[in-house]
Amino acid sequence: MNITEILFWLLTAVALGGALLVVTSKNPVYSVLALIATFFALSGHYILLNAQFLAVVNLIVYAGAIMVLFLFVIMLMNLNTETEPQKNKWLKLAGTIAGGCFLLVLVAALRDADSKSTMALVGSGDTGLIQNLGKALFNEYVIPFEISSVLFLSAMVGAVVLGKK
């Protein structure tokens, strides 16, 4: 077992544990913190796959900006107490069973999926470096890039309009 596999399993354990903690914890602040841990683990996976630009963007955008927004909203609403009544136990059980069946079906369907290559290249390959991604982004994908800036502007205007009401 070399260092790459050890790191893979470690990051996988952190990601899955954080994701489970997001769903199970009663306090929303703990959920946010667990989700930040999950995002850090996923960034570690991106670095392991040598997608360095996406790793840094994931940290800055998700763990840095979106999660801080979630924390601010939770603190604004004063939700850091257990406000969730949770009366219906059967609904929780049914939801868990449904999600488990979903996982089971997808794993069973994709376990023997036939693909040309079955290995993901780890630790090499220059695809994820910012030089190559930037060239592609500003040559072939420049129109979607500009449209996404318009999307951001409209989202910002929408959030301000909704928040001022």
Partner 1 sequence: MPINLYIFLALALFSIGVIGVLTRRNAIIIFMCIELMLNAVNLLLVAFSKMHLADSMAAGAAPTLTNGLDAQLFVFFIMVVAAAEVTVGLAIIVMMYRNIHSVDVNFLNRLKN
Range 136-155, binding partner 1 (CB under 8 A): 136-137, 141, 144, 148, 151-152, 154-155
- The only residue of 6, 75, 106, 142 in contact with partner 1, by rule CB under 8 A: 106
The rounded distance, in Å, linking the Cα atoms of 38 and 41 is 5
Would you count residue 116 as binding partner 1 (CB under 8 A)? yes
Smallest distance from the beta carbon of 76 to partner 1, in angstroms? Answer: 7
The verdict on 156 binding partner 1 (CB under 8 A) reads: yes
Residue 132 to residues 43, 44, 52, 129, 137, Cα–Cα distance (Å): 19, 20, 11, 6, 9
The residue from 37, 77, 80, 114 that contacts partner 1 (CB under 8 A) is 77
The only residue of 69, 81, 142, 146 in contact with partner 1, by rule CB under 8 A: 69
State yes or no: residue 92 binds partner 1 (CB under 8 A): yes
- Name which position in 65, 75, 80, 142 contacts partner 1 (CB under 8 A): 65
**Residues with Cβ < 8 Å from 129, sequence gap 6 or more?**
50, 52, 53
| Distance, CA of 98 to CA of 103 (rounded, Å) | 9
